[in-house]
Structure 1
């Protein structure tokens, strides 16, 4: 798999509270992590930055001979998130300037065609192929609860005054129960991780069109971010795009 990472402050913010990174092991195992911090400029920036760093440190220190099955990797992924959650929660509890901080988190672990995803918050992971795009993760947001209960429409959700209220975040409580997804990757699969600075601005049709247009992975992530900024850029924008080694995109 190939990948590109891009994070942008946007057009209105003075601090980038997003974080994004991809780590790889010698055997080709890949971990992609994206986070959108909250809790004031200092707290939000710290929460996302430390989440990316701690997930990466744990991943790069893995002893591959100790992780042999899918269950082993799933346990490692969840335990890593629990560790980060404890770290941030304890930091916020001990230091007043970090009180109330937290972060969204999406971590994608890829081993061959096997993909495991851990998710908390309203950042997203999309799976794309030549024909369609699918949002894998479910937003942990107040607006999404209203939407699922049929209390508001999609149009109302897009403009709801509480659309940024998060129901689950890493570091905001002593314990966290993240969602876990498993996906089988095919030779034409793209995975897109993004913060809501992108997903609030670009619909799925636009995302699919950009990713399946001619161009390199780098050109695609740049265009995604540029488009979100063109649509207003009120928030930080972060994108990780993972694609097949054969980057020839055939139009459907």
Structure 2
């Protein structure tokens, strides 16, 4: 697998509260992407996202990949990390209420497995088309699903950044998992909302399919998001199968 990744503070935020990591080439561990977006406006969003990514990677490196059901494995890792972060947050008033989005992807036996909490996203790019593979855990997504607002109305909605699930925020957590068949030359994009709030899916697709390699795709995505205003931290991982 070829891949690239990059995180950027953007133009409007003082801190970068996003974190990510890529595990590729580790013996016995399938290629894994991890991304987290600390809750903006809450305490210690940068701490939450960094701890989540670091802890997830430790779990991934020691996991039993041969006998485990992968979706269940990713789900249990996120649940364990949630408890770790929640217990840490309760130790001091300065960290109470911290939380983060979290996505883990693992590629094994021509399947992409996803564990997901929050409004960071996974996209599949195939045959010059792009498809969102995750469903946002957000106030806006619920309004769209029940027909209260349209997708076009959601773009500028004042509560478009309010998430309904976060790792570390509460002791108990519901985790969504996905299992997707993938093909040679498929591309995977994992990103925070700092990208998708700035660029349309059509703009993202055009950049990725025209990039000479995944790292160039990442760099160009962030450059274009900043050119559109860079209102939030921006983190992207692109992998080509």
Q: How far apart, in 2, do the equivalents of 1:41 and 1:173 lie?
A: 14
Q: How far apart, in 2, do the equivalents of 1:75 and 1:156 lie?
A: 36
- Contact preservation (8 Å) 2:71, 2:115: no
Q: How far apart, in 1, do the equivalents of 2:169 and 2:205 lie?
A: 33
TM-score by length of 1: 0.91
- Contact preservation (8 Å) 2:10, 2:233: yes
- State how many pairs are aligned: 240
Shift of 1:154: 1.7
Instruction: Report the equivalent of 1:247.
Output: none
Map of 1:72-111 to 2, 5 A cutoff? 73-111=70-108
Q: How far apart, in 2, do the equivalents of 1:180 and 1:201 lie?
A: 26
| Alignment pair present for 1:232 and 2:229 | yes
- Contact preservation (8 Å) 1:18, 1:36: yes
| More moved, 26-35 vs 52-61 | 26-35
Instruction: Report the equivalent of 2:45.
Output: 44
Aligned alpha-carbon RMSD (Å): 1.4
Shift of 1:41: 6.9
Q: How far apart, in 1, do the equivalents of 2:75 and 2:38 lie?
A: 19
CA deviation string 1:10-67 (max 9, x = no partner): 0011100001111132246111000000165751001000111001111112345xx3
Distance 1:214 1:102, change over 3 A: closer
Is there any run of 5+ residues in structure 1 with no aligned partner, and where?
245-252
Distance 1:152 1:40, change over 3 A: closer
| Alignment pair present for 1:34 and 2:31 | no
Q: How far apart, in 1, do the equivalents of 2:121 and 2:40 lie?
A: 20
- Contact preservation (8 Å) 1:28, 1:111: no
| More moved, 220-229 vs 209-218 | 209-218
Is there any run of 5+ residues in structure 2 with no aligned partner, and where?
none
